[in-house]
A = this chain, B = another copy of it.
Amino acid sequence: MQRYKCTITYDGSQFSGYQIQPGMRTIQGEIEAALSKLHKGERIKISASGRTDAGVHAKGQVIHFDSALAIPTAKWEIALNSVLPDDIAVIRVEKAAPNFHARFDAVGKEYRYFVYLSPKRDPFKRHYAYQFPYPLDYVAMKEALKYLIGTHDFTSFCSAKTEIEDKVRTIEEIEFFEEGDLLVFRFVGNGFLYNMVRILTGTLLEVGSGNRSPYSIPDILEKKDRQYAGKTAPAHGLYLWKVFY
């Protein structure tokens, strides 16, 4: 038996999220079905660095699985891609130690959030960036970042649905830059709570459009209450970009 660490990318637009659910098309479901095909019907369970919601994309999600198949490491990528649907692709397969765990060994993650700044409707962006065609005050947004970067209790920036107790996380970097008619937010941290990147993005857009002061951020953090932060930005602008080990 060999454990494999496998980096995957997917277009989340046609999936009901990562986690397997009966009767739904999910990332986990499709990958486990693909592995099962390679293993003559045997069920192979995979574990990911974390779940992604319906509509959320991944450029560098990481999963692990165990296999007894005698496929050379270099051929795993080709073998898996040949049985995966075309909206999921394996981009790297590596041998891993028997105790490697995609979720528990992750020490950080990078997410990106894409905002489409133009008022022109663009069918090619409908699943891939959130259209927000309002003037943005980048100076105010940069001011807000100062209060978000660092170690904080992010209860206010986390879906109230979460069961996790400890909501202290460290955000190492948040930056944003324009790429043509897109505004790209980049978040790097040791871990992100449920909906955290989308709530951070929604709040930063409210700061940028003048509906919220950058100086309100410390208050929001202090309240430890979801209702004080901004709206949750839509799923389709979000990309799990990279997982660090």
A→B interface (CB under 8 Å):
9-11, 57, 81, 86-91, 120-124, 126, 128
A126 lies within 8 A of B11 (CB): yes
Collect the chain B residues with CB atoms within 8 Å of residue A122's CB: 9, 89
Collect the chain B residues with CB atoms within 8 Å of residue A57's CB: 124
Collect the chain B residues with CB atoms within 8 Å of residue A123's CB: 9-11, 86-89
B121 lies within 8 A of A89 (CB): yes
Collect the chain B residues with CB atoms within 8 Å of residue A89's CB: 120-123
10 nearest CB pairs, A to B: A89-B121, A11-B123, A87-B123, A86-B126, A89-B123, A81-B121, A11-B124, A10-B123, A91-B120, A9-B123
CB A143 to nearest CB in B, in angstroms, measures 33
Can you list 15 pairs linking A and B with CB atoms under 8 Å apart? A9-B122, A9-B124, A11-B124, A11-B126, A57-B124, A86-B121, A86-B123, A88-B123, A89-B120, A89-B121, A89-B122, A89-B123, A91-B120, A91-B121, A124-B128
Collect the chain B residues with CB atoms within 8 Å of residue A11's CB: 123-124, 126
Name the residue in A88, A122, A123, A126 with the highest tally of chain B Cβ atoms < 10 Å from its Cβ.
Answer: A123
CB A233 to nearest CB in B, in angstroms, measures 18
A126 and B13 CA atoms in complex are apart in Å by 13
A57 and B125 CA atoms in complex are apart in Å by 13
Q: What residue in chain B is nearest A87 (Cβ atoms)?
A: B123
CB A236 to nearest CB in B, in angstroms, measures 11
CB A54 to nearest CB in B, in angstroms, measures 16
Q: What residue in chain B is nearest A125 (Cβ atoms)?
A: B11
Q: What residue in chain B is nearest A57 (Cβ atoms)?
A: B124
Q: What residue in chain B is nearest A12 (Cβ atoms)?
A: B123
Given A87-B126, A89-B122: 11 more A-B contacts, CB < 8 Å: A9-B123, A9-B124, A11-B124, A11-B126, A86-B126, A88-B123, A89-B123, A90-B121, A91-B120, A91-B121, A124-B128
CB A94 to nearest CB in B, in angstroms, measures 15
A11 and B123 CA atoms in complex are apart in Å by 6
Name the residue in A88, A91, A121, A122 with the highest tally of chain B Cβ atoms < 10 Å from its Cβ.
Answer: A121
Name the residue in A81, A87, A120 with the highest tally of chain B Cβ atoms < 10 Å from its Cβ.
Answer: A120
Collect the chain B residues with CB atoms within 8 Å of residue A87's CB: 123, 126
A101 and B45 CA atoms in complex are apart in Å by 59
